[in-house]
Amino acid sequence: MTTLFSPLALRALILKNRVVVPPMCQYSARDGMANDWHFAHLARFGIGGFGLVIAEATAVVPEGRITYADLGLWSDAHVAPLARVVDFLHGQGAAAGIQLAHAGRKAATPLPWRGRFDETEAEKDAAGFVDWQPVAPSAVRHSDAPGFKTPRELSPDEIRALPGKFADAARRALAAGFDLVEIHAAHGYLLNQFLSPLANHRHDEWGGSLANRMRLPLAVVDAVRAAWPAERPLLVRISATDAHPDGWTVEDSVVFARELKARGVDVVHVSSGGFDGATIRPAPLYQLALSERIRAEAEIATVAVGLVTEPADAERIVASGAADLVALGRMALDDPNWPLHAALALGVPNAYGLWPTQAGYAVRNKDRSLKIRGFAAE
């Protein structure tokens, strides 16, 4: 058995393999509600053999959405449609996670494939279009690029209320049956904005020193960990570096990861970037070294993510100890059956048996007829 297809225990949760679908926004909700698109989008990954499927960045308050079409978990009405997704994933042997998020100053932006607010009135009515002024640690716009707005600076009382909003969303995630929650503190969104000196220009207890900039994200972690059952794992996604000379560094991330571990976080999902001016050049495995360093120096489990496409690379990552899990985002969109194909490529015993019953025998017979994959030597 390969390491990639070996089980992993996270508290009481046993993942059947180390292959993860990370959160990927679909910008397809109305009023934050999951619908048939979200069901089909996530269900295919359960069918495709992923051990863990994490639902997209889900806003804990309406104004925390990246776009008006993002998922939400700020009301009890959001629970039932998500529970439908969770139940199906469980039926396929996959664990279900959800990412709790607040976009901060990167909220209220256009749908990415439109790039600007050019919806007709009819389209606005059909999609539930709303617009609002974002909030942030400081009244500093993310970028001069079209679509970003100047945010309003959060008051101290508003900041102190935010951990409770995340905790309330975690309780709803539990009601929906999710196995784990992931707190989004990456990619230039609100918690990352508090961490980074590029966005946090405050001079009170929430800004300035590293300890002060970590104060809100750690308070969110404490609130969610207290609301989330002790037997269920908690993840945090971070940008390990801003890749900017004046920004957050890998050294800061190691300090932050140690604090996360001390507060009951089980896994750090290691990404990077998210701020204007970052000098990141995506390439195969381009974030792997960040995961490896945080895992080693903070002594905490990690998820490696970032253009992992080849089964041999994924196996090497977990077998070498560079990470405990491997996440495939765009690769999963391109090939929702990636784990099933990877199992065949890596020679996992009874790999055809990992396919759903309704499909495995047919794929095996097809490969036998064509003398490919496991039958190539015949």
Amino acid at 144: D
Which is the catalytic residue, given 27, 68, 189, 352? Answer: 189
Is residue 189 annotated as part of the catalytic site, yes or no? yes
Report the alpha-carbon distance of residue 207 to residue 153 in Å, rounded. 12
Report the alpha-carbon distance of residue 169 to residue 105 in Å, rounded. 20
CA gyration radius, the chain:
21
H-run or E-run covering 181: strand 180-185
DSSP line for 231-249: TS-EEEEEES---STTS--
DSSP line for 12-51: TEEESSSEEE--------BTTB--HHHHHHHHHHHHTT-S
Please say whether the beta carbons of 348 and 354 come within 8 A.
yes
Amino acid at 65: R
Please say whether the beta carbons of 183 and 234 come within 8 A.
yes
Dmax of the chain from CA atoms?
71
Report the alpha-carbon distance of residue 236 to residue 100 in Å, rounded. 10
Amino acid at 57: A
Distances (CA, A) of 138 to 148, 193, 365: 15, 9, 60
Structure tokens at 265: 């976080």
Report the alpha-carbon distance of residue 67 to residue 117 in Å, rounded. 11
Residue recorded with tokens 């990927």: 24
Buried b (16+ CB within 10 A) or exposed e, 284-313: ebebbebbbbbbeebebbbbbbbbbeebeb
- Which residues are designated catalytic? 189
